[in-house]
Chains A and B, each alone.
Chain A
């Protein structure tokens, strides 16, 4: 008999995480919207950011600047809540899971049309999910690895059959890559289609001058209750942060995407400008290459993890807008556990660990960073002077960003700085990458291999009960912290600055910002 989980709205994720994620970012001032005034219709919203979008192909594009744009046009069946803790239905109305947890039956809204006028049906959903699955490892298909088949039941119902029980499925379906587009690309080739994509979203494609600006206009027939209020949205490309700041202050733009933390304070005190730090899922960390001695020695790793003064890094790098990291997961990620104690700054503890280690008198090593990244340069220089206290002579090795990635993938480093940001509202994407050598990255290129943690991770993938999952992820966070296979640095929020006329602008911890309900006051 099928266990009828009556249309479970948004129950996917542990409620425990909700409260915790609220405290994510640092000095998050009141969100830009929030006052009770009536939404105003009309106007163009200009968002300036450092780099252009690359492509609108949702299944093969890994670039955030592209993703944030395509999400305004193409919508998935489910979406993440504003605080990142829950998954809610979007184009779907709900789902049921079979007893063996191998079949998900998803019901669809019946009032949704594409911007070409055609109604959205189960055929379109099957096509869209299959399209993504087919990209395999060349695109986001790996997210759908657990899916066996997608079948159409009727116009408003699809079933997803799994190869094995897979708890993150609904979270996976909320990724932009599983966004719904018209079946058979609306009669075009994939390339033609993604030149000017069609979806169900509040905005439609307008034009793209590569390297200069990308523009979307409002979808007048949007199915949603609210919005879009704006006539159009324009993303401009302004690589220099100072320039963006001056443009915002001069009223040339409405939103400055990622102002420098150094100017965040002065921006928030500028009249007419709001600077907001939205909680993110980003966690910056130091990775130790365990193939290089002495990093296979847990005491060495713990000594370094204890020796890093995270608070002063948060102050120097993020100008206080962030938090020292305590866990493998970030506060914006479901199942984050605040009580986990990853090594925190404690010089005595660090010395004690060094004394127990294979290199009690210190050693020479290097830290690989990407050139031209001021934050990494800051972390490296602060760390260098702190490790000197332990007798560790750390050289800073700079490689141009792409060469840096190459070296990281080849595990050609002693220590390196990196960061992770979640793409789906489920910890599995990151934990499988970080703790399971089978994830393809040799445990985030550290060559850490701990069978107990690997087992816990695999259990969590199949555990559908959220309390039981919480328990598993707490254990993973504890054991990962103890082993110090990574030294967690800090959680940094997303920085945005905008003029006071911008209302309702919200960024989820996954980084996306739905613009349907954003409006500008005159």
Chain B
């Protein structure tokens, strides 16, 4: 088993240049943004002279290359710098936003599985029939809806018309968090479900046709118990990697969704930082997101290896 996880350190090593590349791209891209933090900080009384003076004080008139080296040097000491807007360590800001975004994503993942597993089972139980076509229609529609629009529609239906859920914010207690995050999580779940359903459906059909399910059936297993005990685990294997990839995409989706639902997570932090030209904060969030995508990628493969004894990524890496 451990032998088969040898690919993990290799993948970690390979991700170093990726993360490094991300810092380069982000750093230079954000400094290409027109405008600077002083413009934002000085408000309506900004004049060119005062903007220049404040930028100078903030060290933003140094050559870009020097600024990058400073950034990189600090990064090695795990120092993400000081937020220009809030005048506080960026680590602090990121640390308070990360749990919110992570719980939103986890929530969305749970909801999307709650949607996907029954629908995929339904579709796979009668391929080509009406219910299969209905599920397929759902996936096609789900794929074709802009996420922010789904959010607005959920606000309209469940928030404004039905008054069932709060339409924004995060709440203050864990119970409130669950309640407040329901609509944004559902929005992300709807975005995530179509590919999960498609993958799960296809693999379920595959597994249902396999010998051991035939054997189980001949021993009298049927219905939901059969599905749960014999089919789901095997059918889930390819879906794991799809979910892994999707999670990476969803981080980006949460950016817009957090805006629609006023969730104070990484997305909101990022958007506000971009508007304020708070360079250290933008860099930190981009870095965290990139790390998240890389780690999820590796974890996906670990889970994959764990659930499917046939996979040997370690030998593949060597090949």
Contact = CB atoms under 8 A, between A and B. Distances in A.
A490 B88 CA distance: 39
Contact of A240 (B42, B44, B85, B260): B260
Contacts of B277: 402
* A interface, size bucket: 35 or more
A273 B154 CA distance: 25
Interface string B57-97: 10000000000000000000000000001111000010011
B169 A54 contact: no
A191 interface: yes
Contacts of A239: 168, 259, 262, 268
B5 interface: no
B87 A55 contact: yes
Interface in B166-211: 166-170, 172
Given A62-B43, A405-B35, A211 B53 contact: no
Contacts of B172: 213
Contacts of B53: 137-138
B263 to A, nearest CB: 9
A250 interface: yes
Interface string A52-64: 0011010010110
Contacts of B19: none
Contacts of A211: 93, 96-97, 264, 268-269, 272
A298 B283 CA distance: 47
Interface stretch (A18-26, A120-128, A241-249, A462-470): A241-249
B36 interface: yes
B147 to A, nearest CB: 15
Interface in A134-150: 137-138, 142
B35 to A, nearest CB: 4
Contacts of A420: 44
B160 interface: yes
A75 to B, nearest CB: 22
Interface stretch (A86-94, A433-441, A493-501): A433-441
B275 A402 contact: yes
Contacts of B96: 209-211
Nearest to A412: B34
A421 B167 contact: no
A429 B155 CA distance: 43
Contact of B39 (A60, A402, A423): A402
Nearest to A63: B43
A138 B57 contact: yes
A62 B41 contact: yes
A242 B48 contact: no
B292 to A, nearest CB: 19
Contacts of B35: 402-403, 405-406
B45 interface: yes
B36 A55 contact: no
Interface in B205-233: none
A409 B170 contact: no
B163 A212 contact: no
B315 to A, nearest CB: 47
B24 interface: no
Contacts of B153: none
B49 A440 contact: yes
Contacts of A403: 33-35
Chain A contact residues: helix, strand, loop or mixed: mixed
A191 B33 CA distance: 29
Interface string A385-417: 000000000000001111101110110000000
Contact of B160 (A138, A246, A441): A246
Contacts of B259: 239
A409 B39 contact: yes
Contacts of B290: none
Nearest to B169: A238
Contacts of B159: 246
Contact of A191 (B34, B87, B93): B87
B10 interface: no
Interface string B20-53: 0000000000000111100111111111111101
A242 B275 contact: no
Contacts of A210: 86, 88, 93, 96
Nearest to B159: A246
B167 A242 contact: yes
Nearest to B265: A211
Contacts of B150: none
Contacts of A409: 39, 46-48, 51
Given A420-B44, A440-B49, A402 B34 contact: yes
Contacts of A142: 45, 50
B54 interface: yes
Contacts of B43: 62-63
B168 A247 contact: yes
A420 B276 CA distance: 20
A152 interface: no
A236 interface: yes
A252 B171 CA distance: 10
Contacts of B33: 402-403
Given A402-B34, A409-B51, A440-B47, A240 B262 contact: yes
A242 B45 CA distance: 30
A103 B232 CA distance: 86
A410 B35 CA distance: 10
A454 interface: no
A54 B53 CA distance: 20
A401 B46 CA distance: 14
Interface in A424-476: 429, 433, 439-441
A247 B51 contact: no
B169 A247 contact: yes
Contacts of A243: 155, 167-169, 261-262
Given A210-B96, A211-B96, A402-B275, 8 more contacts: A62-B43, A62-B44, A243-B262, A246-B160, A250-B163, A403-B35, A405-B46, A409-B47
Interface of A: 51, 54-55, 57, 60, 62-63, 137-138, 142, 191, 209-213, 236-240, 242-243, 246-247, 250, 252, 399-403, 405-407, 409-410, 419-421, 423, 429, 433, 439-441
20 contacts: A54-B85, A55-B87, A60-B41, A62-B45, A138-B50, A138-B57, A210-B86, A213-B172, A236-B169, A243-B262, A247-B169, A250-B166, A402-B34, A402-B39, A402-B275, A406-B39, A409-B39, A429-B45, A433-B45, A440-B50
Rank and list the top 7 A-B pairs by shortest CB-CB distance, nearest first: A62-B43, A440-B47, A243-B168, A211-B264, A402-B35, A403-B34, A406-B35
